[in-house]
Amino acid sequence: MNRREFIKLGAVGSAVFVANPTLMNNTLQAHDGRLFQAYEKVKLVDDNGKAIKASELEVEKEYIFHYPYVGTPNFLLNLGIPAKRKVILKSQTGQEYLWSEGVGAFGAIVAYSGICSHQLMHPNKEMSVVSYVKKEGKTMACDRGGMIICAAHLSAFDPEEGGKNYAGPANEGLASVVLEHDEKSDELYAVGILGPQKYQEYFGSFKAQLKKDFGSRRKAKKLVKIEAPVTTLTQYTKEVLKT
Amino acid sequence: MSINRRDLFKLGAVAAAATITATQVSASTETKAQETSKLKDKSKGKRVVIIGGGFGGLSAAKYIRKQDSSIEVIVLEKNSIFMACPYSNTYLGELKETTLKRLTHDLYSGAKIYGYDIIQTTVTDIDRKAKSVSTTDGTIDYDILVLSPGIAYDYKGQFPNWSDEKIRDVAQNAPAAMITGSEHLALKRMLEDMDGGNVIITKPEGKYRCPPAPFERASMIAHYMEKEDIPGKVIILNSSKGIAKGKAFKESWKEVNKGSVEHRDDCEILDVDMEKGTITYNQEVAEDKYKKITEKFAVLNLIPKNKANPVTLMAGVKTNAWGGVIMNGASFQSKTDPNIYAIGDVVGHALPPSGQTANWTATMAAQEIAAQLNGKTWKMSFPYRSANVCYSVVGADEAIMVTHDMSFDGKVIKGKGHVPKPKDGNGKYRSKGVAKLASSWFDGIMNDMFV
């Protein structure tokens, strides 16, 4: 093993370690190891590389960042009210996992994978059929707003409840990005993924589009390091299709 | 049962008349010699055999394996290539994004990724006592058998006086194209060859695959004719007055196709003369008053009555008049035999036979089957809101949609439809956004099986 490889290995090891205290504090549980995975801790930053401040996120605005891979989009939302705490979710294969809480001063900030758990619809640079419908908004997918919706197959997920599947053909919730909030600096970090990950199927399904958006699928498959830029959905994609 | 096995196999073969080939016929005569050989020896582990590698069968295979990778899953499929029926009307309409490549797929990728077997063979019998399926290539044992064979055509039921030869002629030269393959390619060829005249589409009585399909096809063919500047119109001869997504279709026929789609109610098809290129039907013009009409066609898309693929009868489980398997309540298990499941078109529930339904029933059945094989119980939790969404493309870049909520009425699972007006439709049922969603919908469901 050469030194460079050793350093790489060390970096991966420390990434796991960083997330572990969260696990030990019992704020996060996964009965099955597959349902929680720690990735490198990265800071959420704006276009200029400046740290995003949790208190400055607009309520119910759809922010997008990519994590844990360069090509895997997530929604970052300030729900405006505290998300529910200690929500038990169930994967399609029956494993239970515990979603702990939102972060930020009021526990209102949450992040979920933008890749639908049903058939992997997600925001790309051309368009997005997945979006957040505001609490006061209406959607065909279900009887109320305040939901992350896939407009293609009409699955609805509740961001207040750990991304639980609320309506439509999805049989499990959205994976969530485990966030950490630094109270002193008001900065946000992504540290891992909780819930059913769909990355392997996602990378298998959208080769041509990943090439278009990220240069190549290989590039899209790279892990995000150090920081993850945050943008808004409308800036990220040309067209948002809501129903 | 008065029908014997050989008759039943013949019946299945006739139903799929359009796909009959010399090799298949000779294969059936060789059945006996090969019957004793095993397609695959059975180990001690749990095994699920699935008949049919369509939207239902391939989705079930994937999700059973995802549910419990210790379960061995084997799919039996008679075709060597997958071709999607959903979205195929846009191929007839020559929408630029719909190529044949987009509609087709090899059958092996899902098997490789999710670790199930796919065997290309034709099922000839099911022995529930021995828990064994016979095929033209040997037998295979199962712990649980899933029936996902799709539909068959019932020419004989609708036209009892037609000879086998006539049925074959009509099936090949006025193809129904509700079962994918040569029928779609043939219909496309006929449209391409046509210089002018009318295209006639018949909508059958009773339950048939994809209720909006004949109407979407009318929109797409009318679009194609306009694009290619082919004089003529599309005439739908409907066995009833009912049109799935009726208001939405009528609006688009009027405004998008500018009257080049004509819908005729209450038409009973009497006969077809392929030589003269005419179709004769009785139209009910008033209560019990009929008018006999003979109409000339340039291209005929005769969609006969549908029925469940008669493979379901081989199992000897209780079926309804259409051939759908009677289910064990809010379940995909047959009422007759706990080791026989049914999904997709052949479920005995009140669900529309569609690709999306096949996929949805497969994900449900997979959970139920894995539970059963692990000695657990699994229950559905109703209602399933918007469990089904179904799009119909009505122009170059516009589509309409219907959503279904699934509930259980104590006997069967039922879908209740709702045809919404989209946000970007300016008060119309159709919109460009919905067309984009339709396209995404199709990619999603294809990826779900193969990637």
Q: Walk me through the domains of chain A, giving residue ranges and CATH numbers.
A: 3-240 (2.102.10.10)
Closest approach of B439 to chain A, Cα-based (Å) = 8
pLDDT at B434: 95
Residue B199: predicted pLDDT: 98
Question: Which residues on chain B are in Cβ contact (under 8 Å) with A172?
Answer: none
Inter-chain CB proximity B444 and A152 less than 8 Å: yes
Highest mean pLDDT: which range of A135-149, B267-281, B378-392:
B267-281
Contact at CB, A92 and B360, closer than 8 angstroms: no
CATH superfamily of B5-153+307-373: FAD/NAD(P)-binding domain (3.50.50.60)
- Token pair belonging to B231: 């004089």
Q: Which of A32, A90, A115, A119 has the most B C-beta neighbours within 10 Å, making it the best mutation to test the interface with B?
A: A119
Residue A141: pLDDT band with limits 50, 70, 90: confident
Chain A residues touching residue B101 (CB < 8 angstroms): none
> Residue ranges of the alpha helices (H) in B285-393?
311-314, 355-373
Name every chain A residue with its beta carbon within 8 A of the beta carbon of B68: 93
A242 to B437: CB separation less than 8 angstroms, yes or no: no
What is the SS3 assignment for B363? helix
Name the residue in chain A with its Cα closest to that of B367.
A93
> Is the predicted pLDDT of residue B49 greater than 80, yes or no?
yes
Q: Which residue of A has its CA nearest to B450?
A: A205
Q: Is A238 near chain B, with CB under 8 Å?
A: no
Which of B437, B448, B450 is the best residue to mutate to test the A interface, defined by the most A CB atoms within 10 Å of its own CB? B437
Does residue B358 register a pLDDT over 50? yes
SS (H, E, C) chain A: CCHHHHHHHHHHHHHHHHHHHHHHCCCCEECCHHHEEEEEEEEEECCCCCECEHHHCCECCCEEEECCECCCEEEEEECCCCCCCCEEEECCCCCEEEECCCECCCCCEEEEECCCCCCCCCCCCCEECEEEECCCCCCCCCCCCCEEEECCCCEEEEHHHCCEEEECCCCCCCCEEEEEEECCCCEEEEEEEECCCCHHHHHHHCHHHHHHHHCCHHHHCCECCCEEEEEEHHHHCCEECCC
A6-45 per-position pLDDT tens digit: 333 333 333 333 333 344 333 344 444 458 899 999 999 9
Q: DSSP 3-state assignment of B445?
A: helix
- The stretch B364-380 carries a mean pLDDT of 96
- Between B389 and B253, the more confident residue is B253
Contact A169 B388 (CB under 8 A): yes
Query: What are A189's strand-pairing partners?
Result: A43, A180
Note the pLDDT tens digit of each residue in B151-180. 999 999 999 999 999 999 999 999 999 999
* Segment B308-317, tens digit of pLDDT: 999 999 999 9
Strand partners, A111: A76
Q: Round to whole Å and give the CA distance between A164 and A97.
A: 11
Find out whether B56 and B343 touch, Cβ atoms under 8 Å: yes
- The whole-angstrom separation of Cα A76 and Cα A104 is 12
Whole-number percent of chain B with pLDDT over 90: 84
Show residues of chain A in contact with B385, CB under 8 Å: 141-143, 156, 167-168
Share of residues in chain A with pLDDT > 90 (%): 77
Using an 8 Å CB-CB cutoff, list chain B residues near A140.
Answer: 386, 403, 418, 420
Residues of B with CB under 8 A from a CB of A: 63, 66-68, 113, 356, 359-360, 363, 367, 370, 384-389, 403, 418, 420, 422-423, 433-434, 436-437, 440-441, 443-445, 447-448, 451
More confident residue, B25 or B138: B138
Strand-pairing partners, residue B202, are B237, B302
CB < 8 Å to B420, chain A: 140, 243
Nearest CA in chain B to A127: B436
Percent of chain B predicted with pLDDT > 70: 92
**Secondary-structure breakdown of chain B: helix, strand, coil percentages, each rounded to the nearest 5:** 35, 25, 40
State pLDDT tens for residues B2-45.
445 544 444 444 444 434 444 444 444 444 444 468 999 888 89
B-chain residues near A32 (CB < 8 A): none
Furthest-apart CA atoms within chain B: distance in Å: 65
Q: Residues A30, A32, A34, A39: is their CA dihedral positive or negative?
A: positive
Residues with Cβ < 8 Å from B328, sequence gap 6 or more? B334, B335, B338
Report the range of poorest mean pLDDT among A33-47, B214-228, B423-437.
Answer: A33-47
CA of B411 to nearest chain A CA: how many angstroms apart?
Answer: 22
Band of pLDDT at residue B387, cut at 50, 70 and 90 = confident
Q: Is the Cβ of A27 closer than 8 Å to some Cβ of chain B?
A: no
CB-CB under 8 Å, B389 with A154: yes
Residue of A nearest to B368 (CA): A93
pLDDT value, residue A34? 55
Cβ distance of A168 and B67 shorter than 8 Å: no
Chain A nearest-CA distance from B306, in A, is 27
Q: What is the pLDDT of residue B42?
A: 87
Candidates B370, B437, B451; nearest CB to A201? B451
- E strands, B131-181, are 132-135, 138-141, 144-147, 151-153
**Using CA atoms, how far apart are residues B291 and B284, in angstroms rounded to an integer?**
6
Q: What percent of chain A has pLDDT over 70?
A: 86
Q: What is the mean pLDDT of residues B133-141?
A: 97
Chain B partners within 8 Å of A152 (Cβ): 389, 437, 440-441, 444
Q: What is the mean pLDDT of chain A?
A: 87
Least CA distance to B448: which residue of chain A? A119
CB-based contact B447 A119, cutoff 8 Å = yes
CATH number of this structure's domain B160-305, picked from the four choices 3.50.50.60, 3.40.50.2300, 3.40.190.10, 1.20.1260.10? 3.50.50.60
Query: Do B5-153+307-373 and B160-305 fold alike per CATH?
Result: yes
What's the pLDDT tens digit per position in B64-103? 999 999 999 999 999 999 999 999 999 999 998 899 999 9
What residues does each domain of chain B span?
A: 5-153+307-373, 160-305, 384-450
CA of A190, closest CA in chain B: separation in Å? 28
Mean pLDDT, residues B315-330 taken together:
96
At B72, list the tokens. Answer: 């061995």
What pLDDT does A138 receive? 87
Is the pLDDT score of A49 beyond 50?
Answer: yes
CB A42 within 8 A of CB A190: yes
3-state secondary structure B52-79: CCCHHHHHHHHHHHHHCCCCEEEEEECC
From chain A, the residues in CB contact with B418 under 8 A are 140
Q: What is the C-alpha to C-alpha distance for residues B6 and B105, in angstroms, rounded to an integer?
A: 32
pLDDT of A179 higher than 80: yes
**pLDDT for B43:** 85
Per-position DSSP letters for B330-353, written without gaps between them: SSSBBSS-TTEEE-GGGBSSB---
Rounded to whole angstroms, the Cα distance separating B34 from B38 reads 9
How far is Cα of residue B264 from the mean position of the Cα atoms in its chain? 24
Q: How confident is the model at residue A142 (pLDDT cuts 50, 70, 90)?
A: confident
- Residue B375 structure tokens: 């000695």
User: B385, B390, B429, B443: best mutation site toward chain A, by most A Cβ within 10 Å?
Assistant: B385
For the segment B147-154, the average pLDDT, to the nearest whole number, is: 98
Interchain CB contact of A195 with B (< 8 Å): no
- ipTM score here? 0.75
Residue B331: name the closest of B294, B400, B378 by CA.
B378
Interfacial A residues in 102-161 facing B (CB < 8 Å): 118-121, 127, 129, 140-143, 151-156
Q: How many CB pairs under 8 A join A and B?
A: 87
Ramachandran category for residue B277: left, alpha or beta (phi over 0 → left; psi -120 to 50 → alpha) = left
Summarised one tens digit per residue, pLDDT across range B182-208 is: 999 999 999 999 999 999 999 999 999
Which chain A residues are closer than 8 Å to B444 by Cβ? 118-121, 152-153
Quick check: A171 contacting B, CB < 8 Å? Answer: yes
Of A152, A156, A171, the CB nearest to B440: A152
Query: Is A92 close to B67, i.e. CB distance below 8 A?
Result: yes
**Cβ-based contacts of A93 with chain B (< 8 Å):** 66-68, 370
Mean pLDDT of chain B: 92
Which residues, in sequence order, are bridge partners of residue B296?
A: B278
Question: Which residue, among B67, B359, B389, would best test binding to A if mutated, counting the most A CBs under 10 Å from its CB?
Answer: B389
Determine, for residues A140 and B440 on separate chains, whether the beta-carbon distance falls below 8 Å.
no
Would you call A92 an interface residue with chain B, using a CB distance cutoff of 8 Å? yes
